[in-house]
Structure 1
Amino acid sequence: MSTNQMFSGLGLDDRLVRALSEEGYEKPTPIQMQAIPEVLAGRDLLAAAQTGTGKTAGFALPILHKLMSSPAKATAPGAPRVLILTPTRELAAQVHESVVTYGRHGSVTSLVMFGGVNINPQISALRKRVDVLVATPGRLLDHVGQKTLDLSKLEILVLDEADRMLDMGFIRDIRKIMTLLPRARQNLLFSATFSDEIRELAKGILTNPVEVSVAVRNATADRVEQKVHMVDQSLKRDLLSHIIRGSGWHQVLVFTRTKHGANRLAEKLVKDGLSAAAIHGNKSQSARTKALEGFKTGKLSVLVATDIAARGLDIEQLPQVVNFELPNIPEDYVHRIGRTARAGAHGQALSLVDKDEVKYLKAIERLIKQPIVQTALPDDWTPGPVTPEAPRPPMRSHRQGQGQGRGQGSGPARGQSRGAATPGARPHTSSSRPQRSTRARPTA
């Protein structure tokens, strides 16, 4: 079945189908199959889907279709018709890139705004027509305070990764934003889980919503080789450095629980001769962007991240994920290790577990309904200082290997065998575009 038949079968505008075809995307993902018809029908939507399932395309495609099908009669500057709220700067940039990519054959205009960068270019852009605005809550309210943004004409609201917005303390900002919007609007809320808090939030925003979900919450765990090393917290940094250097890992994503811990670990790995960097909320936008791009292209072999900073990060064929510290929320463990099992690919996840983290380990095992194998520490490792001259793992360019090293926060999972990719958001750059062969599905 051709790409056109697959997506035109969902009732999407031919210009969107053309853009998807040019990107090499053929087969909608389950969340897209469920969500797109409901959004096109104008219904409010409560969707359970995480990064990697195709959720960005699941709402971006039908929204673009609606905008293309019914151009605004009056276009007031700085008065968006669609608002997409995201919890992080990286995710905002990636969602916006998806909007630009899918809508490139139409006349829809869009803008992304987030903090950590100069506000003046955003103010200038708001003096023109903006159909789709992708924003983080804090920067959006900055513009509202400066009266550079008019939300009175809004037709569609999207809350992306609403669970993370609650985790990050955005609930008051969200409620304030709600008071600025017209009552007659379509609302779409996407969350990794339907927790009690999410359902409570949905009650105040959605009207008679349709619920859709994709049952992949724990499926990724089945495609990941998981193992645990029991080790004292004080020895973890030396052990991880030893494992990375000894195994020759060229691309490993390491999760820590705190920003300070991420900094300390990255500094330790650099001291040991590895190319490493940390990303978290306290880093400047330029520093985060530089680290992400270095990791995606293979110039950086180790990226140390907190859960929130890594949300939306999607690296093609990411081979290794390490839990330097276990998360205290079991679902976050599945989020983490799922980054190395995109589109049916297989990966490895190593967790370094201190005796005080055993309770977290047990909770995770209950969630994924399987024990995680505890393996012995490497025979050739003894705790102690590492010499800076220690060999570095081989570096690969982003063109080497099966995954061509370009990550998408909410972009298509590129790791499938040829003929099975999925459309989603791309990083907010235009320089790295890997060669495409026949692909099949959009992941966001």
Structure 2
Amino acid sequence: MKRRDFLKTSGAAIAGGALITSAGGFAASCAAHDGPSRDLGSTDVLVVGGGPAGVCAAIAAARCGAQTVIVEQGNCLGGMATRGLVAPFMTCYDTTGETMVIRGIFEEIVDRMVALGGAIHPSQVRAGSPFSAWITAGHDHLTPFDAETMKFVLDQMCDEAGVKVMYHSTLVDPIIKGNSVCGIRLLNREGICSLRAKVTIDATGDGDVAARAGVPCTYGNPELGKVQPATLFFHINNVDTPRLIKDVEAHLHEFRKVNGVSYRALHWRVEQAEAAGEWDIARKSVNIYRGVREDEWAVNCTRIANVDATSTESLSAAEKEGRRQVQEMMNFFHKYVPGCENATIKSSASTLGIRESRHVQGEYLLTVDDLLQGVVPEDSILCASNSVDVHGRNGANTTEYKTVENGRWYGLPFRSLIPLRRDGLIVAGRAISASSDAAGAVRVM
């Protein structure tokens, strides 16, 4: 079809140099670019995703002498801890609160942030305090931290270890030769590029590399057809902290759980707002954690159900709903919460907090019984005691929370990081091989 005839018959609009057409016809004749990609060479270890799991994997690999590259779609390292504003870090101690069991690179990060005034060491933070949202079970020795400080510290530690970090670079697809993943194609400011690697680590959180490589995955809880709801974190400041604490601590005797619904901090204020028709968020209380600075608090309360983290359309709608809920919560703080009348939004997360999406099938499926019974496999790569924390499965307002029943910690086996069907690939972080219930614990930072 001639260009003049096409414009005449299609009625397509030209705006800002962009031609908008319907499917078929001219659009169908325009094949996607499938030319050669720019060759970025090769590396020993390629980490896709610069969140906490990816950063620690990269630093560890580089310190062992491996040439290591992180490919990160954002503009900073830290993932959910920085761009997602998820804070504080949950417990790094055993169930007794006596022994710090998560140490190593994590402790180095914390110590550096503490030295810069950007964190409070977990040894100084106890359960039932404002730093733990006054929650006791599973909330001993948390780590309040400042996201901006963490961004700097992670850059610094990667530089010192010799890790090359490529920001603004997004996974396109894995490079596969035979049965092995041999790197990825990525999209960055230079266009589509290829980067080969001896070992590729999928630290995307959603198992994107593994899924695109044909590794079998489950999504959410297959039996129920559900995923845990998402949350858009935000932080507030200019809070009269003594007045806020006084209000909460006058109602500590009212903290309770009924039919899976937690009534904790500020639930008495939520009830007032509900009665006035000014609360439609599917939570009955507000998890609000005091930050490093006295007037700053991290708010974990927004709740967006049925978010498919593998769908652009679903994520886009959820991000907007999260921001709507943040504004509703600010109105709530100003009108109902003593000490928050003049509070302002210090920052809201630039990416949605996803609790659950894909679970990659690996050599070993970590189960909730493994965690609750304190099983420590021989190939464990770390020990932890995080509680099993599953949101929204039995109703939008519900949370299932189970602590370790036997022993002081459980182990995370290396086999859960090794996906089926593909060599040269390791999965780190939220998408490891675990049941939906078990993932409710190992997803926690």
Query: TM-score normalised to the size of structure 2?
Result: 0.25
Query: TM-score normalised to the size of structure 1?
Result: 0.25
More helix by share: 1
Which structure has the larger Rg over C-alpha atoms?
Answer: 2
